[in-house]
Chains A and B, each alone.
Chain A
């Protein structure tokens, strides 16, 4: 701790060593004990300003504010849980609806013949028959 650094600490943080930087407090306090003549004036001047600044006090929060804050968080908490419940219900409903739709789709696809397939069967035979029919001989002879 140099004289300059000690003066800079007091200049910035005041005379109360509790407000000095944690990392330098011990060294500054040791310097203060070792050089009382040098530090007394600096500390006195800074201490006077500290005392004046500390005279600015403010009233504490009223009980109404405490109740408002608690009500606010309680309300937010309830809204959050209600929303979470609603979202999980909605997600379940959506997945259920999706499952039902898929099931209906599968049943329809496998059991009910389509109009086009009936038409193809009744007039032109089945698609299988058409696809198995021998190709026309294109031989020019």
Chain B
């Protein structure tokens, strides 16, 4: 799914293949010239500044936790993933190179990869123990604010193909730009548009009753 990948700090960070040519040069330049508002905090965190760690956590924790919770549907798993992602960001802080990627995009990628690992493990357990399988995809718990509409939306999104699901979550709920989402998912902007269009068409059909 992610194409070629190299291990980086214990997780796979995607490397774009030449064939994919994910973003045009213009888009690359655009992303790399965006000011990374986290860079200064990251540098201070790498130097052991606890106040910087706290500030970065305050800035990022709610969004990263929301991403993990929407992906996993379980507060305990979302908590574990978020904590692990922040630990990795601390490890990365000392060797972070400003200009190569936005920290926010990188952190989204880390959280997503950790969520993929959890979802894969759930599928393996569900396959190994079919009698106890209830709904390994998304057991809703108290972390999810429930309403009938919200529950239908959650179900509809989680029955989309994985790439469409991820694109919709990153776009609608994480509010990343199209270029940042393309970077995070390692696809071209054109491919992202296609993923979003197909996802929205499917969702419109599945949620038609609610819409009217």
Contacts and interface: CB of A to CB of B under 8 A. Distances in A.
A54 B172 contact: yes
B185 interface: no
A52 B172 CA distance: 11
Given A52-B207, A70-B54, A61 B200 contact: no
Contacts of B53: 70, 73-74, 77
B contact patch SS: helix
Interface in B188-212: 189, 192-194, 196-197, 200-201, 203-204, 207, 210-211
Nearest to B151: A56
B62 A60 contact: yes
B157 A13 contact: no
User: Contact residue range for chain B?
Assistant: 35 or more
B171 A56 contact: no
Given A8-B193, A61-B82, A73-B90, A52 B57 contact: no
Interface of B: 30, 45, 48, 50, 53-54, 57-58, 61-62, 65-66, 69-70, 75, 79, 82-83, 86-87, 90-91, 142-145, 147, 149-150, 153-154, 157, 168, 171-173, 175, 177-179, 189, 192-194, 196-197, 200-201, 203-204, 207, 210-211
